[in-house]
Structure 1
Amino acid sequence: MTSAADRDEREGSEAVTPTGSRLARLLRGSAGIAVAMAVMNVGTYAFQMVSARMLGPSQYGAVASLMALLMVLSVVQLGLQATAARRIVAEPHDVAAIEESILTATWRASWALGGVALVLSPLVWWLLHLDTVIPAIVLALAVVPTTVMGGQAGVLQGERRWLPLSLMYVAAGVPRVVLGAGFLLVRQTEASAMAGVLVAAWLPVVIGSIALRGHRPHPPENAHDAEVRRDVRREVWGSSMALLAFTALSNLDVVVARNVLDFRDAGLYAGGLIVTKVVLFLPQFAVVILYPSMSTAEESRRAILRGLVFLGGIGAACIAGAYVLRDVAQVFIGGDKYAGVTDRLWLFAAIGALLAILQLLVYGGLAKRGILPKYVVAAGVVAMIGVGVLATQLTALAVTVLAVDAVVLAVLLVLVLLRDGGRTAV
């Protein structure tokens, strides 16, 4: 098996060859991750914009709910990636055991989650009021490649192999909008949209498999390797639970909307959430860059404060932009069909801004293997669902979600600052 150091040296030497293209040299550097993630996010939400325009509010509300559930069901993807990246960097002497454990756990978890989702597909059909059960079945199948991508990306991130990781991110976004639009051109249904998502989800897995083709699972070499594997699995579980709580908080409101509002208003709410997701994921690269610094005692507080300032500034600008340029934003979320939500798009931008900062604080807790953030965020999920189901209007639901996110953010911020001040642990 080629070592991470050897790969770093090889990648570095390739980066300076005169035959390398300017794009390849960019993607081989860490700066390329920001570009690749931006492309991924643009592709992901371009798919949502295309779907919103081609399907209309009622059917798009169902697709948005399915995509939200896909995010929740595949949350192990995020836990695998966070754990793999942190452990490979922090414990270079145990890289072989860590990578073997991550890749084996990745495939097992993906098939297990896909199987569970398939069994629950009739429940999803009923919960989201879908026309048929087929979109729910396609959703279950899409969980498998989405989860696999997380483990592969985590290994590449830990090895600092930026080029294949960048290509995976690009492949996770661009094909989704291209294939999704293609499927919708054939037939404008919920099932067609999800079929495009399913096919596109396998493309980054193919790239990851090629990049990691030299990695072969092997049995534990000694008792130490076996213990490393067990600890990695425990960390994956803990990280996944924390990220599950955050993913639920940032996605399940559209499911609540689907059940408490009429289908048109639920579709308008889903259209507004396109703005939320754009604001949430626009500065996501900052979390990736700051995550290593948040893992060290000396840099953690400074990294979090820098992140708060940066994300706060981006969020404020997005809120102002959504208010001043609301008519332009309406065009991007689906056009005149979504005119009913135009004047409230700034509210959805505010939700996205709060969630972006919350994501930073959740990853700050993961960097220190903290235990409190996941319970605080989980309590927020319970509050959001419990109070949200009482809402009878679109604006009331959006304000409820905004208020819950603000309270969770305030509590987490206090806990993180106290931890980095040395007075308590998070």
Structure 2
Amino acid sequence: MTAPELASSRVGRRLVGGGSMLAIAMLVANIGNYGLNLFLGRVLTPAEFSDANLMVTFLFSLTSIALCLQLVAARFISRSDELGFEGDSDLLARRLRRIALGSGVVTAVVLAGASSFWSTIFQTASSWPFVILAVGIPFWLVQAVGRGVMQARLMFGPLALSFVVEMVTRLGLGVLLVTMGFGVEGATVALTASFVVTTVVVGIASRSRSPRTGNGIDRAEVRAYAGLVSVLLIGQIIANNSDIFVAKAYFTPTDAGIYAAVALVGRAVFFLAWSVATVIFPVVARRHAAGRESSEVLRFGILAVIGIGATCAVGALWLGGPALGFVLGPEYSDLSIPLAAYAGTTTLFAIGNLVASYRLSQSLVTESWYLLGAAVLQLVLVLIWHSDMTTLIAMQGIAMAFLILALGSRSMTRTWISNRSRKEAFQ
């Protein structure tokens, strides 16, 4: 075996091993988070549960900032480390942490300062959860940079640990505070505390490595790439959260709480699938920097996402309704079909997200624009047709089906053009 083949084999084993570890950790974290949500759904009324779920949705709507910082860190640090200049990576990481802290403070001020407005718009019982959540936002963004550093350096063990620590803190403190009678405010305190603890863990694991520097990472290039990343992430936010906001604003509090339980399944599918994208992104970025092909990595990722989504959809159809009915109460027992449909719709979105993320690691943004377009289409559809839960899920399915068709058509077109160019080159 040649040296390049040996290195490739080692990276492959590390990728599979680290990816499996990360996927297991994210599965455990999702089970814990799901368990907390089931606990909240059991002890809180549907209206209170809807308020608690809204805090998580608000947080996810801010992931454009967090994931932008994480993906920028992952791409440029992986590239610099591939070239042997870890010092440049450390300088970038410190700069991104300062940006994260500043952005977090500004966002927190806006969220807390307008808490009464948010409470009125989304029909919550109190404005205090918005203030409590605001405290955690700066920590949420800072730890995203640290996770990007670990992602870039294929530090899947510490990265996996960070997700488990976040879940354990949130689950333990959430159950304790809600049991003590603090309700939605207690659940939100647990959410904020989990970010603080995770920031400490991530900060220790992603600390500086080497003083060796090269020519430095061009700030203009970083800013330009951040703009590309934002296209994908804005699409993610709209697709992942628009239905929750619409349900909270237009459904009765009880119906919004029931819909929130269904949406939990979709989030589980997406975040399990995101573990695949997390593993693939830095590997493809490294291969792209070295001029190597990586299409087989994408094929492996798509198969993994399909497997995750199919498993969740079949499980939801088979056991979802009865399980929720047993855990949460009889009003949740007839949700098997909506749960399975939501899981299937989210799987389509997760495939599109994986393809867009793969292309983004190569600084190509067309697929991200496709995803953003599908997300906007979904938003328009759910704003027009939101009479009940079935209609809301169907509108999302239509938008995501268009996304897959568009990405498939583009892939076939690119393949045809590539084959034609090679054929002409041999003539």
TM-score by length of 2: 0.83
Q: Helix, strand or coil for the counterpart of 2:364? A: coil
Could you tell me which of 368, 371, 378 is aligned with 2:365? 371
Opposite residue 414 of structure 1, the aligned amino acid is: S
Alpha carbons of structure 1 residues 412 and 132: separation in structure 2 relative to 1, 3 Å: same
Could you tell me whether the CA contact under 8 Å between 1:347 and 1:398 is conserved in 2?
A: yes
Could you tell me which of 70, 73, 78 is aligned with 1:89? 78
Opposite residue 274 of structure 1, the aligned amino acid is: L
Opposite residue 396 of structure 1, the aligned amino acid is: T
Alpha carbons of structure 1 residues 200 and 30: separation in structure 2 relative to 1, 3 Å: same
Alpha carbons of structure 1 residues 251 and 159: separation in structure 2 relative to 1, 3 Å: same
Residue 181 of structure 1 corresponds to which residue in structure 2? 175
Mapped to 2, the partners of 1:82 and 1:420 lie a distance apart of 27
Structure 1 position 134, deviation (Å): 0.7
Could you tell me which of 200, 212, 218 is aligned with 1:228? 218
Could you tell me whether the CA contact under 8 Å between 2:277 and 2:354 is conserved in 1?
A: yes
Structure 1 position 362, deviation (Å): 2.5
Q: Do structure 1's residue 79 and structure 2's residue 68 form an aligned pair?
A: yes
Q: Helix, strand or coil for the counterpart of 2:335? A: helix
Could you tell me which of 110, 119, 123 is aligned with 1:125? 119
Could you tell me whether the CA contact under 8 Å between 1:271 and 1:333 is conserved in 2?
A: no
Q: Helix, strand or coil for the counterpart of 2:125? A: coil
Residue 59 of structure 2 corresponds to which residue in structure 1? 70
Deviation sequence 1:329-375 (CA, Å, 0-9, x none): 42577342312534422112212222321221221232122233333
Structure 1 position 422, deviation (Å): 5.8
Mapped to 2, the partners of 1:367 and 1:293 lie a distance apart of 9
Q: Do structure 1's residue 345 and structure 2's residue 335 form an aligned pair?
A: no
Residue 14 of structure 1 corresponds to which residue in structure 2? none
Structure 1 position 214, deviation (Å): 5.0
Residue 423 of structure 2 corresponds to which residue in structure 1? none
Q: Which aligned pairs between 1:190-229 and structure 2 lie closer than 5 A?
A: 190-212=184-206, 224-225=215-216, 228-229=218-219
TM-score by length of 1: 0.83
Opposite residue 325 of structure 1, the aligned amino acid is: L
Alpha carbons of structure 1 residues 113 and 233: separation in structure 2 relative to 1, 3 Å: farther
Q: Do structure 1's residue 157 and structure 2's residue 151 form an aligned pair?
A: yes
Could you tell me which of 281, 290, 313 is aligned with 2:280? 290
Mapped to 2, the partners of 1:207 and 1:272 lie a distance apart of 32
Structure 1 position 254, deviation (Å): 0.9
Mapped to 2, the partners of 1:161 and 1:380 lie a distance apart of 33
Residue 397 of structure 2 corresponds to which residue in structure 1? 402
Structure 1 position 143, deviation (Å): 1.8
Residue 238 of structure 2 corresponds to which residue in structure 1? 248
Could you tell me whether the CA contact under 8 Å between 2:69 and 2:145 is conserved in 1?
A: yes
Could you tell me whether the CA contact under 8 Å between 2:23 and 2:275 is conserved in 1?
A: yes
Could you tell me which of 269, 288, 293 is aligned with 1:279? 269
Residue 49 of structure 2 corresponds to which residue in structure 1? 60
Structure 1 position 421, deviation (Å): 6.2
Mapped to 2, the partners of 1:235 and 1:101 lie a distance apart of 15
Could you tell me whether the CA contact under 8 Å between 2:231 and 2:372 is conserved in 1?
A: no
Percent sequence identity is 23
Structure 1 position 180, deviation (Å): 1.2
Number of residues paired by the alignment? 393
Structure 1 position 328, deviation (Å): 4.1
Deviation sequence 1:150-195 (CA, Å, 0-9, x none): 1011112223334432322211222111111111112253222211
Alpha carbons of structure 1 residues 114 and 421: separation in structure 2 relative to 1, 3 Å: farther
Q: Helix, strand or coil for the counterpart of 1:325? A: helix
Mapped to 2, the partners of 1:375 and 1:156 lie a distance apart of 27
Opposite residue 395 of structure 2, the aligned amino acid is: T
Alpha carbons of structure 1 residues 42 and 98: separation in structure 2 relative to 1, 3 Å: same
Could you tell me which of 127, 140, 143 is aligned with 1:146? 140
Alpha carbons of structure 1 residues 318 and 31: separation in structure 2 relative to 1, 3 Å: closer
Could you tell me which of 29, 35, 38 is aligned with 1:49? 38
Structure 1, gaps ≥5 residues long = 1-27
Opposite residue 402 of structure 2, the aligned amino acid is: V
Stretch deviating more after TM superposition (398-407 or 339-348): 339-348
Opposite residue 373 of structure 1, the aligned amino acid is: E
Alpha carbons of structure 1 residues 160 and 382: separation in structure 2 relative to 1, 3 Å: closer
Q: Which aligned pairs between 1:306-385 and structure 2 lie closer than 5 A?
A: 306-331=300-325, 334-385=328-379
Mapped to 2, the partners of 1:415 and 1:101 lie a distance apart of 37
Opposite residue 63 of structure 2, the aligned amino acid is: S
Opposite residue 288 of structure 1, the aligned amino acid is: T
Alpha carbons of structure 1 residues 58 and 278: separation in structure 2 relative to 1, 3 Å: same
Residue 248 of structure 2 corresponds to which residue in structure 1? 258
Could you tell me whether the CA contact under 8 Å between 1:49 and 1:274 is conserved in 2?
A: no
Structure 2, gaps ≥5 residues long = 1-16, 419-427
Alpha carbons of structure 1 residues 194 and 413: separation in structure 2 relative to 1, 3 Å: farther
Could you tell me whether the CA contact under 8 Å between 1:274 and 1:333 is conserved in 2?
A: no
Deviation sequence 1:23-78 (CA, Å, 0-9, x none): xxxxx956432332222222222222222222132221222222112111133111
Mapped to 1, the partners of 2:254 and 2:72 lie a distance apart of 41
Alpha carbons of structure 1 residues 356 and 328: separation in structure 2 relative to 1, 3 Å: farther
Stretch deviating more after TM superposition (392-401 or 299-308): 299-308
Structure 1 position 257, deviation (Å): 0.8
